[in-house]
A and B are shown apart, each in its own frame.
Chain A
Amino acid sequence: MNAPILAEVPLAHSAAATIRRAAPRARASLRLRGDLAPFEAALGLTLSGRLGSRADAGPREGLRLGPDEWMLHTTPDDLATVTSALAPLYADHPHSLVDVSGREVTVVIEGPRAAELLTIGCARDIDAIPDGAARRTVFDGAAVILWRDSATRFRIDVWNSFAPHLLDLLVIGTRELAAETS
């Protein structure tokens, strides 16, 4: 798993969960339809999985968000490589690759009750998201991408301006869960 390097100081920590900001990642929105094979070859990633499925190779992670939409995460250096690998395909395989690295930040939620913590802001059935999958969903009113890395570890990508609001609730929830006695 391509664990993002964690910022050192947790934003919140309790027996229930720990909240951290992830180190910056390069991100790009890839939109295309038709033949996926040339793109899979150029990226070295499987793109043809079900919606919400992920694939990774080296530094790259790909997440299928829609029939014609993928989110790519990679290292800042590698994004230029991705861009130049896809550019030659454009003439025969029109697509849209838009750098959104600056748009979002990632929050890491980890701990024995991480999944339960997410229920304070997310209406989806968290337990129904398989480990290693991801979903575009809403958390406390903000559109997010929720990555489930394992039973006890999640990532949330959220637009930067919504992050303080979202983190505020996660911090409240981390304390609230820890205070529960039963």
Chain B
Amino acid sequence: MSFYRVPGKGRVDLSRPVTFTFDGKTCAGGRGDTVASALLAQGTHLMGRSFKYHRPRGAVAAGSEEPNALIGTRRGPGRFEPNTRATVQEIYEGLQTRSQNTCPSLKFDVGAVNDAAYMLFSAGFYYKTFMWPRSFWDKVYEPFVRAAAGLGVCPSEEDPDHYASRNLHCDVLVVGAGPTGIAAARAASADGLCVVLVDEHSEAGGTLLSEPQAVIDGVPAWDWLARELAALKDTGVKVMTRTTAIAYYHQNMVGLCEKLTDHLAQLPDDTPRERLWRVRAGQVVLAQGALEKPLVFHGNDRPGIMLAGSAQTYLNRYGVLVGRRPVVVTSHDSAWFAAFDLADAGAQVQAIVDLRADVPEALMQQARARGIPLKLSHTATATRGRLRVKSIRVNPVTGTGVGSPEVIACDAVLMSGGWTPSLHLFSHTRGKLAWDDDRTTFLPGETPEACVIAGASRGLWGIKAALNDGAAKAREAAAALGRAGSAPPYAVAQDRTGSGVSARELPTDLSPGRAKAFVDFQNDVTAKDLRLAVREGMRSIEHVKRYTTNGMATDQGKMSNINGLNIAADALGRKQPQVGLTTFRPPYTPTTFGAFAGYHRGAHFEVTRKTRIDAWAESHGAVFEPVGQWRRARYFPQTGETMDDAVRRECAATRAGVGIFDASTLGKIEVVGPDAVEFMNRMYTNPWNRLGVGRCRYGLLLGEDGYIRDDGVIGRMGQDRFHVTTTTGGAAHVLNMMEDYLQTEWPDLNVWLTSTTEQWSTIALNGPDAAKLLQPLTDVTLTEDAFPHMSCTTCTVAGMPARLFRVSFTGEIGFEINVPAPMGRALWDTLWRAGQPLGITAYGTETMHVLRAEKGYIIVGQDTDGTVTPHDAGMGWAVGAQKPDFVGKRGLARPDLVAEGRKQLVGLLTDDGSKLEEGAQIVFDPAQAIPMTMVGHVTSSYDTGTTGASIALALVAGGHARLGETVHIPMPDRTIAARIVPTVFVDPDNARIRIPAPETEGAAA
């Protein structure tokens, strides 16, 4: 038994010893210990260094509000986590922990010079200190700030754990499993409602775990707790421990983070480390309790100085005395009970120092009975002890001022500045807060969510009050769901009710200007900083907060916000609500990225959509590229080929023979109904009335603003049926846009839209031999007369039902064959085999891009950027000017869209034959002064395809009227001159697109 462990006290099972390491030294504890309780049990208070001044710090709390005792935890490669609170982390066999902000060691730290230089680091120091001289920024200040910034060390290895998420629906979610929450869950579940009770601790019970003396309905608290938890389980209540309600989102969705393995020595298979629950609850009962406030006095941050309630928790829950000779400093009755518990467990309490003159007589009697010296109307003014508190200096406070000091030797200081209701989740709901002057704190008011708040989190005190309020509020929640709920009134003996006063920084006889009286322990903000911020003009607490960083640390000011507000309000001479309260934002406690990412990491990070032909491409060595969610084959390199080699070969083969291309990812929409043609007229720029059945047309889709949004070939399969294709990336957007217009603007139209993107596998054949290859496989006569360019039909291809389109995105004879998706691979294999004598070549998206660019066909999203009109793109021909209306028609008439000098799509050929860089800016005069006037940019650029020259498309101001002119593209190393040319580089007369006359056909057959 260690010196500070009290036999027979606490819930830690010392018969099941656990060893772990702290800064390399082996430490022992029992099952149920946290790192903090195990270290305190061996007398170690020093657990870390503070963030700014590197002051030695120990645990000041016993729960998740802990600002000081942040450690790094590690269990093998990749499993390292910084900034874990030692007060929450349970120990397990083999756990490795390290202190933080220490260099070279926890006990001797060079960063502590900041502490001596603290006058430099006053409020807003980073706004002031690093201002001058300017030249110091790069070499001195920035490296310093970067080295000093950040808490803990960022993990550098990949996290081997996995993370999970689940959705959960329930009638009532109860947050916090203290007496309030347990009573609430009991009451709410009595009438058959589905209830979930969650608590961040390793076991349910909350305050009851720290107050075993209470007797509830005649049963000792811990027996009552066990009985109630069993009863809740029997009623079907889902009780979740190690589960933090991190956020309250809209419409009663509450995020929970459940930690599943961080307390286990052996990691079980298939079990995630953490699981994020998205709970949608009919009603939420918030029972988060209250958090104790520290007292603000010079030297209130030394190791060994902690919250009185936490000391009581360490004793009663963990069986650990945080000191053998503690002094209690308080302004609230609750700390007196902590003193009594410690005294009863063998500690020699050196004194109870109370700021108040009036303390209930019953408390004083109990103190006297234990022989504890009392110092009422006293203040604490300083402490001593480098790595652990050794003494405290206290002074009497009289009506005229602070009297002479007295130094009391001690090994711990237990402080209590009263309690702050935990309103974090309530604040997430946009709940209004009401200032309570008597209790000097904010209490919950109205909330827009279906939510009640009960117990200590709305300012009630004592176990009986908590139990009965929990039950009452749960009955309110049940009533809102149409149920009665139930719960008899609870009777509690040995309850510890009490009250207190709230203080600003404590009165002192020392210089307040030199006091290190900490308000925010984690960000090292002192009372002096807050007053300085007010002196320098900050009036709102929001500004004071940002200027001083008070409450901006990872603990979100759980301990510091109200103290900070009281001090700022005092400095301003105004009431606290007039100074304001900063809002709390999710998450309640720091949460891992893993928990938020859940299953979405590695191969499951995002959907990768693959076509039915993807496996063929993979087995033929394709290099893929992502297009939207799809992965598409970019090119098919043969042995030793670079991308440029492969693309040149694929381009040449397609122009010379026949190329095969998987176009299945193109978006497809079936438009059916008597008003289909009218719908098409209104959506697309083109006229559709005179498009015959069996014909297709290139369609251009604009936004209301007149800019190009999408395009694709559209076939009229029947009088009332269109087969619309869209770009690969735009498919979902186009369908949504169409449905939007249909449902909101034109509900009168009898037409329906069905996504058929994945109904069809689409294979494109392009090249002079395309018809030759396809003819033997289909019943359609593939001649210029029988099936001219821009025809479509329903037919069979290789015995499969098909929709055949004669279209070309390459300038060659082209077909797109659509077959039911599952048949796609079979058709591809058939065409591949049949094409072998013709030297069929599979090509990817890169070759497709080159071949279309050579013909000046645009790619929406590459040659357009959301500010390009059809006229800018040289496609005014696609706009049905005679049509009464279409989406974007009015937009096209806007003055700036018809103005002269707009950027227009042109071709570019460089004088030296070099390839331009896509995105490169263009200027007219390379000799002009910098910054130059930029007149456009390169949108597409390719190395020699089949034209023997590198070609580019570009948007150039007034480009259509500048054919033949030279423009300049400044690059980092040189400026490239290029000539503006038409966008069509190959076969401007479209001769190649025609299927030659029958004698050639005969030869093919």
Contacts and interface: CB of A to CB of B under 8 A. Distances in A.
Contacts of A95: 673, 752
Interface stretch (A47-55, A144-152, A155-163): A155-163
A141 interface: yes
B712 to A, nearest CB: 18
B166 A125 contact: no
B819 to A, nearest CB: 8
A123 B167 contact: yes
B599 A169 contact: yes
B165 interface: yes
B277 to A, nearest CB: 9
A40 interface: no
Interface string A85-109: 0000000001111111111100000
Interface in A49-105: 68, 94-104
Given A103-B758, A179-B270, A165 B608 contact: yes
Contacts of B269: 179
Interface residues of B, number: 44
Given A100-B754, A125-B169, A165-B608, A176 B271 contact: yes
A101 B270 contact: no
Instruction: Among B611, B757, B759, B761, find the residue whose CB has the most chain A CB atoms closer than 10 A.
Output: B759
A24 B822 contact: yes
Interface in B738-765: 750-752, 754-761
Nearest to A118: B167
A173 to B, nearest CB: 8
Contacts, number: 103
A142 B600 CA distance: 13
B128 interface: no
Interface in A99-141: 99-104, 119-120, 122-125, 127-128, 140-141
A84 to B, nearest CB: 15
B268 to A, nearest CB: 6
A162 B754 CA distance: 18
Nearest to B664: A161
A150 to B, nearest CB: 20
Contact of B604 (A165, A176, A179): A165
B280 interface: yes
Contact of B673 (A96, A122, A140, A164): A96
A31 B269 CA distance: 48
Interface string B607-646: 1111110000000000000000110000000000000000
A103 B756 contact: yes
B672 interface: yes
Contacts of A68: 752
A168 B271 CA distance: 16
Interface string B806-825: 00000000000000111100
B986 to A, nearest CB: 34
Given A68-B752, A102-B759, A103-B821, A120 B169 contact: no
B824 to A, nearest CB: 9
Contacts of A169: 599, 604
A98 B599 CA distance: 35
Contacts of A122: 167
A178 B270 CA distance: 8
Given A123-B278, A141-B607, A142-B607, A102 B758 contact: yes
Interface size class of A (residues with CB under 8 A): 35 or more
A98 B670 contact: yes
A98 B270 contact: no
A56 B754 CA distance: 23
Nearest to B631: A161
A165 B757 CA distance: 18
A120 B164 contact: yes
Interface in B157-202: 164-169
A87 to B, nearest CB: 11
A97 B751 CA distance: 11
Q: Chain A at the B interface: mostly helix, strand, loop or mixed? A: mixed
A175 interface: yes
Contacts of B599: 120, 140, 169, 172
Given A94-B673, A94-B750, A179-B269, A159 B758 contact: yes
Instruction: Among A122, A160, A175, find the residue whose CB has the most chain B CB atoms closer than 10 A.
Output: A160
B1003 interface: no
Interface in B257-312: 268-272, 278, 280
A20 B110 CA distance: 62
B754 A31 contact: yes
Contacts of B280: 123, 125
Contacts of B673: 94-96
B78 interface: no
Instruction: Among A24, A102, A120, A175, find the residue whose CB has the most chain B CB atoms closer than 10 A.
Output: A102
Nearest to A32: B752
A33 B270 CA distance: 49
A21 to B, nearest CB: 13
Contacts of A176: 164, 270-272
Interface string B133-172: 0000000000000000000000000000000111111000
Interface in B662-680: 670, 672-674
Given A119-B166, A161-B609, A94 B674 contact: yes
Nearest to B674: A94
Given A165-B608, A168-B604, A99 B630 contact: no
Contacts of B271: 176, 179-180
8 contacts: A101-B820, A102-B761, A103-B756, A103-B821, A123-B278, A125-B169, A161-B611, A165-B604
When A and B form their complex, which 4 residue pairs have the shortest distance between CB atoms, in order from nearest? Answer: A161-B609, A102-B821, A31-B752, A96-B672
Given A122-B167, A162-B609, A179-B270, 10 more contacts: A33-B750, A68-B752, A94-B673, A95-B752, A96-B670, A96-B754, A100-B756, A103-B756, A104-B758, A164-B610
